[in-house]
Amino acid sequence: MDDLIDTLRQQHWDIRSSCDALDKFCKSGLSDNGSIEKWMGEQSNIIFHLKHFKKILLSHCKLEDAELYPILFKAKDKRLRETSEKYANEIKLISKRVLSFFETYTHLKVDDLSQNEDFKLNLNTVITIIKKRIDIEESELFPLYSKVKK
């Protein structure tokens, strides 16, 4: 397998892990068998996970823009180029949505985030969008890259 694809797959794994940690935050609450200390500890990790999530997403998009899409845009087959352009345009829209999310919520404190239902709903939406995009990249975009790279 290609080094670029290996790197992108590893980043996908990191992004999914971050999504899972953030999803856990959205679903967490103080249960009967949990302690307030444990719940508060989980809540305080949200800021770390949000910053990490943003960092790895931006790094991933930057790598795709610099190395993946330029190769795809050079495809000899017009259909492959058009498909590549479609995926590139889609990721631009997704990036705008995700950056808007971060701009909206980065100023809030942990307590505000944990009580903000809009934050949880929007975070869940972002996670869903990102996970679907990762699935598309791995099932469609990476094989397309392999075809063009041959």
- Domain ranges for the chain, please list them: 3-149
* Whether 3 contacts 67, CB under 8 Å: no
Instruction: Specify the CATH number for 3-149; select among 1.20.120, 3.30.60, 2.50.20, 1.10.3470.
Output: 1.20.120
Q: Please check the confidence at residue 60 and state whether its pLDDT lies above 50.
A: yes
Encode the chain in three state secondary structure: CCHHHHHHHHHHHHHHHHHHHHHHHHHCCCCCCCCHHHHHHHHHHHHHHHHHHHHHHHHHHHHHHHHHHHHHHCCCCHHHHHHHHHHHHHHHHHHHHHHHHHHHHCCCCHHHHHHCHHHHHHHHHHHHHHHHHHHHHHHHHHHHHHHHHC
Amino acid identity for residue 23 in this structure: D
More confident residue, 90 or 150: 90
pLDDT value at position 31? 47
With cut-offs at 50, 70 and 90, classify the pLDDT of residue 42.
low
pLDDT value at position 40? 52
What is the rounded CA–CA span in Å between residue 13 and residue 20?
A: 11
pLDDT value at position 24? 82
What is the rounded CA–CA span in Å between residue 102 and residue 28?
A: 21
% of the chain beyond a pLDDT of 70 = 88
With cut-offs at 50, 70 and 90, classify the pLDDT of residue 101.
very high
